[in-house]
Amino acid sequence: MSERTLAIIKPDAVKKQVIGDIIHRYEQAGLKPVAIRMLHMSKSVAEGFYAVHNARPFFGSLCDFMSSGPAVVLVLQGDNAIKKNRDLMGATDPAKADAGTIRKAHGTNIEFNAVHGSDSPETAQFEISYFFPGQDIFQ
């Protein structure tokens, strides 16, 4: 079933100049970009996005990281897009990520791990509307 997921190319990956490589991986996997924005999140925008993690010990550091430089946020569409993107990303900790995954290739550590992907239909809906309110999503 075709569905949509939210992906973020995080500030560490933008600094490493691997935006193109990561988008190529999405396209090769059949995940079609249907909306793309580049933005430098304020800390409060990062806090709102990651509000579900606000009790975690790494929350402050995570929000500092996500607001440390520009990021690319995308809506990806395709069959089983949510799981497909999670598989493509690899484990949260790049050291534990499978060979061939984005985090294995471009992640630095469990925090600076190159990409984000929605983890359920509910979070995808929240996350897409968080960064793409309105109509700027294509088919």
Is residue 119 at the binding interface for ligand IDP, with CB under 6 A as the rule?
Answer: yes
Catalytic residue list contains 106? no
H/E/C letters for each residue in the chain? CEEEEEEEECHHHHHCCCHHHHHHHHHHCCCEEEEEEEECCCHHHHHHHCHHHCCCCCHHHHHHHHCCCCEEEEEEEEECHHHHHHHHHCCCCHHHCCCCCHHHHHCCCCCCCCEEECCCHHHHHHHHHHHCCCCCCCC
Is residue 113 at the binding interface for ligand IDP, with CB under 6 A as the rule?
Answer: yes
Q: x/- string (CB under 6 A) for ligand IDP, residues 31-70?
A: ----------------------x----x---x--------
* Residues between 90 and 119 with contacts to Mg ion, criterion CB under 5 A: 119
Q: x/- string (CB under 5 A) for Mg ion, residues 64-93?
A: ------------------------------
Cite the active site residues.
116
